C-alpha cells in the first residue's frame, strides 16, 4: 500500500496481524491471534507524522495542533486512528485496525452446534439482535458473520461510522458517516444515516455500532416494521447492554420518560448476544439471552440440562418456530 512507509509494509502484508499500534517514543506492537507482541518498525516521530498526513490528505482531513486527533479509512478497508502531541504526551500515537483475513464462521466463536443453529434461526426468523461486548471482543466480526446469514434476495442497508463490514450478498447498500472537513463543514453523523436509510427501502438494517443519539432513531425504525436488524453496542454484559441502550436514547433529548423508553426496547430488541475475548485471545459468544416478560433477560445459550425454546415468536411470517434438539446440546462445546 503506497500510503504507508516501507517499515509497515511487512506487517500490513501479514494476514495474522489484526492490529498495529505505534506508541509515542518509538514503541510498536501488533496483535496476532488475539495477543499483543512488540515489534520493530524503524519509524521515528517525523516518519510517523508523514505516514498519517499522506493517508488523510486525500480525504480532506487534517492533523495539527488545532485538530490533534483523526479517524480515517485506508484503501484496503483498515481503520486508522492517530493522536498528535501535546494530547499524546510521549509522541504521535497511531492504531491501525485491519479487517478481513478470511471468511469467519459461527464456529470461530466457540459456539456448540445448537448455539450456531439458534443464531441462524434468529437471523432467518427476523429477530432484532443486539450484539454486545467490550473493545476487541469481536462484535464487528460476529456482526459480519450474522449479516452474512441473511438470504441473498433481501436488501441490506449497512450504517457505520467507519466502513468495516464486507458482505457477500448481491443487494447491499453501504452508508458511512463523515466527519467535518478542515473547514469544519460537511459532517454527516450516524444519526442522519439511520434516518436516511429508512427511505432506501431496507429489508434489513445493519448498524456497525450504536454509541449516541442515533439509538432513538434506530428504536423507532425497529418498532415500525424493520425487523431482522442487527447492531452492536459496547457493554460488559447483556443487562448492561440494555441499560446502555436506554442511556443512549436519553441522549437524543426527545423527552420520553424512562418507562416509555424501556417499553420501546422490549418491543424492538428480541435478544442480546454477548461476545467476549477469553484468555489467549479467542473470541467467544458467552450468552444469548432473549428479552422476556417485563424486560428481563432469559438465557437461551449456553444450554442447561433442559434446553429451552425461545418464547418470542418469529417476526417473519414464513419462519418456523425454533425447537431445540436435546441430543445436540453438548455443554462441552460452549467451553
pLDDT grade, residue 144 (50/70/90)?
very high
Please state, in angstroms and rounded to a whole number, the distance separating the CA atoms of residues 170 and 150: 11
Q: Is there a single domain that holds both residue 326 and residue 219?
A: yes
Please state, in angstroms and rounded to a whole number, the distance separating the CA atoms of residues 220 and 192: 14
Q: Is there a single domain that holds both residue 62 and residue 145?
A: no
Please state, in angstroms and rounded to a whole number, the distance separating the CA atoms of residues 327 and 262: 37
Residue 72 placed within a domain: yes
Residue 50 placed within a domain: yes
CA-angle at 132, arms to 266 and 194, nearest 5°: 70
Q: Is there a single domain that holds both residue 52 and residue 70?
A: yes
Structural domain for 28, as ranges: 6-97
CATH number of 62's domain:
3.30.450.90
Q: For 257-267, what is the mean pLDDT? A: 94
Q: Residue 183 contacts by C-beta under 8 Å, 6 or more apart in sequence?
A: none
Q: Is there a single domain that holds both residue 251 and residue 315?
A: yes
Task: Quote the pLDDT of residue 332.
Answer: 43
Contact 133, 148 (CB under 8 A): no
Preceding amide of 86 cis, omega within 30: yes
Residue 285 placed within a domain: yes
Query: Pick from 66, 97, 128: which residue ends a domain?
Result: 97
Residue 254 placed within a domain: yes
Q: Across the chain, what does the average pLDDT equal? A: 86
Whether the predicted pLDDT of 335 surpasses 50:
no
Residue 328 placed within a domain: yes
Q: Which residue has the higher pLDDT, 101 or 148?
A: 148
Q: Is there a single domain that holds both residue 41 and residue 188?
A: no
Q: Is there a single domain that holds both residue 122 and residue 247?
A: yes
Please state, in angstroms and rounded to a whole number, the distance separating the CA atoms of residues 166 and 37: 27
Q: Is there a single domain that holds both residue 93 and residue 110?
A: no
Residue 1 placed within a domain: no
Task: Quote the pLDDT of residue 295.
Answer: 59
Count of domains for the chain: 2
Q: Is there a single domain that holds both residue 79 and residue 191?
A: no
Nearest residue to 322 via CA among 270, 284, 275: 270
Q: Which residue(s) pair with 20 in the sheet?
A: 30, 96
Please state, in angstroms and rounded to a whole number, the distance separating the CA atoms of residues 189 and 195: 10
Query: Pick from 46, 77, 97: which residue ends a domain?
Result: 97
Q: Which residue has the higher pLDDT, 41 or 130?
A: 130
Q: Is there a single domain that holds both residue 218 and residue 71?
A: no
Query: Pick from 41, 72, 97: which residue ends a domain?
Result: 97
Q: Which three cell numbers stand for residue 167?
A: 458482505
Whether the predicted pLDDT of 120 surpasses 70:
yes
Q: Is there a single domain that holds both residue 172 and residue 90?
A: no
Model confidence, pTM: 0.83
Please state, in angstroms and rounded to a whole number, the distance separating the CA atoms of residues 156 and 316: 16
Please state, in angstroms and rounded to a whole number, the distance separating the CA atoms of residues 164 and 144: 9
Q: Is there a single domain that holds both residue 127 and residue 79?
A: no
Which helix (H) or strand (E) segment holds residue 230: the answer is strand 230-234
Residue 58 placed within a domain: yes
Q: Is there a single domain that holds both residue 147 and residue 60?
A: no
Of 138-152, 256-270, 278-292, 300-314, which range is least confident?
300-314
Helix 190-197 vs helix 214-222: angle between axes, to the nearest 10 degrees?
A: 20
CATH number of 121's domain:
3.40.50.300
Q: What backbone torsions phi and psi does residue 18 show, to the nearest 5 degrees?
A: -105, -15
Please state whether 225 falls in left (phi above 0), alpha (psi between -120 and 50) or beta.
left
Tens digit of pLDDT for each residue in 167-203? 989 999 999 998 777 677 788 999 999 999 999 999 9
* Burial class, 333, CB count within 10 angstroms (exposed 0-12 / middle 13-18 / buried 19+): middle
Whether the predicted pLDDT of 234 surpasses 90:
yes
Tens digit of pLDDT for each residue in 43-74? 888 888 888 888 888 877 888 888 899 888 87
Residue 60 placed within a domain: yes
Amino acid at each position: 500500500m503506497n500510503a504507508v512507509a516501507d517499515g509497515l509494509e511487512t506487517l500490513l502484508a501479514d494476514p495474522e496481524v489484526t492490529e498495529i499500534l505505534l506508541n509515542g517514543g518509538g514503541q510498536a506492537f501488533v496483535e496476532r491471534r488475539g495477543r499483543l507482541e512488540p515489534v520493530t518498525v524503524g519509524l521515528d516521530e517525523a516518519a510517523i507524522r508523514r505516514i498519517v498526513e499522506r493517508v488523510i490528505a486525500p480525504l480532506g482531513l487534517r492533523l495539527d495542533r488545532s485538530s490533534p486527533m483523526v479517524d480515517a479509512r485506508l484503501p484496503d478497508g483498515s481503520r486508522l486512528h492517530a493522536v498528535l502531541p501535546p494530547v499524546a504526551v510521549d509522541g504521535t500515537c497511531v492504531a491501525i485496525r485491519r479487517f478481513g483475513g478470511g471468511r469467519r464462521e459461527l464456529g470461530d466463536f466457540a459456539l456448540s452446534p445448537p448455539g450456531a443453529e439458534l443464531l441462524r434461526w434468529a437471523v432467518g426468523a427476523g429477530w432484532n439482535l443486539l450484539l454486545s461486548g467490550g473493545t476487541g471482543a469481536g462484535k464487528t466480526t460476529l456482526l459480519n458473520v450474522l449479516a452474512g446469514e441473511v438470504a441473498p434476495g433481501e436488501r441490506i442497508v449497512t450504517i457505520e461510522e467507519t466502513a468495516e463490514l464486507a458482505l457477500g450478498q448481491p443487494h447491499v447498500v453501504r452508508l458511512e458517516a463523515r466527519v467535518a472537513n478542515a473547514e469544519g463543514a460537511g459532517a454527516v453523523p450516524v444519526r442522519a444515516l439511520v434516518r436516511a436509510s429508512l427511505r432506501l427501502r431496507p429489508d434489513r438494517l445493519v448498524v456497525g455500532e450504536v454509541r449516541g443519539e442515533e439509538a432513538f432513531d434506530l428504536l423507532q425504525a425497529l418498532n415500525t416494521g424493520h425487523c431482522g436488524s442487527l447492531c452492536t453496542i459496547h457493554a460488559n454484559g447483556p443487562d448492561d447492554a440494555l441499560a446502555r441502550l436506554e442511556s443512549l436514547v436519553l441522549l437524543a433529548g426527545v423527552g420520553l420518560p424512562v418507562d416509555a423508553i424501556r417499553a420501546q426496547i422490549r418491543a424492538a430488541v428480541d435478544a442480546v448476544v454477548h461476545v467476549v475475548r477469553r484468555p489467549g485471545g479467542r473470541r467467544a459468544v458467552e450468552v444469548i439471552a432473549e428479552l422476556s416478560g417485563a424486560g428481563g433477560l432469559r438465557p437461551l445459550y449456553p444450554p442447561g440440562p433442559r434446553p429451552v425454546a425461545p418464547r418470542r415468536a418469529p417476526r417473519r411470517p414464513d419462519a418456523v418456530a425454533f425447537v431445540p434438539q436435546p441430543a445436540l446440546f453438548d455443554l462441552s462445546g460452549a467451553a
